Amino acid sequence: MGKAIPIVNLRELRQSCADCALNQLCLPASIGGADLDRLDQLVKQRLPLERGDILFREGTKQPALFVVRSGSLKTFVTLPEGDVQILGFHIAGELVGLDGLSGDGHRCTAEALERSSLCEVPFDSLTEVAAKVPGLQHQLFRVMSREFGREMQHPVMMGRKHAMSRLAIFLRSLSERLEGIGHDPHLLTLSMTRQELANYLGLVIETVSRLFSRMQSQGVLEVDRRSVRIVDPVALAALAEKADADEA
């Protein structure tokens, strides 16, 4: 047994949708047989990305849809003045790139937060096949709409006037999503820096750092660098929902 050198798992690289553990979260859900084969042929397995690698950039023509198989990414837009706004973090089983179907290319940039592997489906062939496979079209609408629902959470969180609520909402959401892919919902390993998290939450890095410290001293979390253990989920929920004064 040598060192833990990360090796590309070749079996994983050439695997069909039918065998994929993420099957139910992904496009192929609820289609099968010949249709699944047809979809399978569109899906390209990509070599893993490393932290900082760009999956696609704002404005890219030839847009594609991606499914995260392992690892995680962030999506963000760059503002005219040069600063960025992070729109979301994407973990295994989640889709990235749905903003690209408009015909004007992708509207945001996607970048890996750690070593990540993905499946890729080019849009033109996807919509082409979707036109022939009603089940796929339906599923495509479903996942787009599901993603819509997820996007809604961001403004809801940003609308909170207390920084503590924002962070608590984020942690709960992440916990829930991890649970959905079979991880321990109380043991989070953050793949983003404090800076990236702060940007996403609409705060500055110092505030995020202080919030983690405060939650730890209150016995809600145990924090060690990027790993966060949720010690008191009830207290965390209370922080997330703590009133916000106005209500109209």
Partner DNA sequence: GCAATCCATTGATCTGGGTCAAGGCGGGTC
Partner DNA sequence: GACCCGCCTTGACCCAGATCAATGGATTGC
Which stretches of the chain bind its own copies, using CB under 8 A?
A: 77, 79-85, 87, 98-103, 107-108, 127, 130-131, 134, 137-138, 140-142, 144-149, 151-152, 154-156, 158-159, 161, 195-196, 198-199, 202, 204-205, 241, 243-248
CB atoms within 10 A of CB 40: 14
Choice between 19 and 246, CB closer to DNA: 246
Distance CA 110, CA 74 (A): 6
Q: How far is the CB of 179 from DNA (least distance, A)?
A: 23
212 scored as a contact of DNA (CB under 7 A)? yes
Could you give the string, one character per residue 103-122, with x where binding to DNA holds by CB under 7 A and - elsewhere?
Answer: --------------------
Residues in the chain, total:
248
Q: How far is the CB of 169 from DNA (least distance, A)?
A: 12
Choice between 85 and 189, CB closer to its own copies: 85
Strand locations in the chain (E): 44-45, 54-56, 64-70, 72-78, 84-91, 95-96, 109-112, 117-122, 187-189, 221-224, 227-230
- Report whether 151 contacts 88 (CB < 8 A): yes
Choice between 162 and 186, CB closer to DNA: 162
Q: Letter for the amino acid at 161? A: K
Q: Hey, which residues between 139 and 198 contact DNA (CB under 7 A)? A: 161-164, 193-195
Question: CA 39, 43, 47 angle in degrees (round to 5)?
Answer: 165
